[in-house]
């Protein structure tokens, strides 16, 4: 029988990971209930069962906590995005046609995941901010960068021949476009529940269709 002994360093790392996860979960619960300005580090510490100092050992303040919460929400969607991307790039043609097909699969993957629920949840966590709220916009965009990084890595692995500049342009235009239509969508449906109603989902689908059409054809399309 093989015995695996954990070192003190391993145990400390495991404990730190547990505390980090508990802090993020506590912040998410409080932000979902009270909004971005409705909770404190002290409240997060109490719900997570850690000290205030422990919270600051992991996060510099409320904004960094909110970035982590939004990253967690987007990460849940990212798993589905990556699975959809894998399916869309399972059999690519050779050469330039394969690169185009890979980039198209990247864009199409946004149709097969529940982006409306993720956006509605982030909007609620951030306190249903006004469109001009730069703080909320910065938090959401910082969290979204994590998703972009994972999509980039996966697409390069699936289609190593794709042109690097074409990939960066597509990712930039896609994520900026998603942010733009997401903003328009929550303006039209400001008090969205996380259980997004059918009418709001239909509006989202129309906006996403418009974005993907524009990405394929350019402004002249």
* Domain membership flag for residue 195: yes
* Domain membership flag for residue 27: yes
> Cα separation of 174 and 131, whole Å?
20
Tens of pLDDT, residues 161-180: 999 999 999 999 999 999 99
Tens of pLDDT, residues 198-217: 999 999 999 999 999 999 98
Stated pTM of the model: 0.84
* Domain membership flag for residue 159: yes
* Domain membership flag for residue 33: yes
Tens of pLDDT, residues 64-93: 999 999 999 998 888 999 999 999 999 888
Could you tell me the CA-to-CA distances from 62 to 29, 75, 127 in Å, in that order?
14, 20, 13
* Domain membership flag for residue 70: yes
* Domain membership flag for residue 2: no
112/184 same-domain check? yes
55/67 same-domain check? no
155/94 same-domain check? yes
Instruction: Return the pLDDT at 2.
Output: 55
What percentage of the chain exceeds 90 in pLDDT? Answer: 63
96/203 same-domain check? yes
Tens of pLDDT, residues 50-60: 999 999 999 99
What is the CATH classification number for the domain harbouring 54? Answer: 1.10.10
115/166 same-domain check? yes
> Cα separation of 41 and 17, whole Å?
18
Is 142 a residue whose pLDDT tops 90?
no
181 is in which domain, residue-wise? 62-217
132/191 same-domain check? yes
Instruction: Return the pLDDT at 53.
Output: 95
Q: Among 120, 90, 89, which Cα is nearest to 106's?
A: 89
Instruction: Return the pLDDT at 38.
Output: 81
Is 185 a residue whose pLDDT tops 90?
yes
66/83 same-domain check? yes
Q: What is the domain count for the chain?
A: 2
Helix axes 95-108, 62-88, angle to 10 degrees: 130
């Amino acid at each position: 029988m093989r015995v695996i002994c954990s070192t003190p360093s391993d145990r400390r790392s495991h404990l730190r990971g547990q505390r980090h996860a508990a802090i993020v979960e506590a912040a998410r619960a409080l932000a979902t209930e009270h909004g971005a300005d409705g909770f404190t580090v002290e409240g997060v510490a109490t719900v997570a069962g850690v000290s205030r100092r422990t919270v600051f050992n992991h996060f510099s303040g409320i904004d960094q906590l909110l970035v982590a919460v939004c990253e967690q929400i987007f990460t849940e969607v990212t798993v589905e995005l990556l699975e959809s991307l894998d399916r869309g790039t399972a059999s690519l043609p050779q050469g330039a046609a394969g690169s185009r097909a890979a980039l198209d699969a990247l864009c199409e993957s946004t149709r097969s995941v529940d982006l409306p629920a993720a956006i509605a949840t982030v909007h609620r966590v951030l306190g249903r901010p006004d469109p001009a709220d730069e703080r909320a916009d910065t938090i959401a965009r910082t969290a979204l960068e994590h998703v972009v990084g994972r999509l980039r890595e996966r697409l390069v692995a699936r289609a190593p021949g794709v042109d690097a500049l074409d990939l960066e342009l597509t990712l930039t235009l896609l994520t900026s476009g998603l942010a733009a239509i997401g903003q328009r969508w929550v303006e039209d449906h400001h008090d969205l529940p996380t259980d997004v109603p059918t009418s709001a989902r239909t509006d989202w689908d129309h906006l996403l269709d418009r974005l993907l059409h524009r990405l394929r054809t350019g402004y002249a399309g």
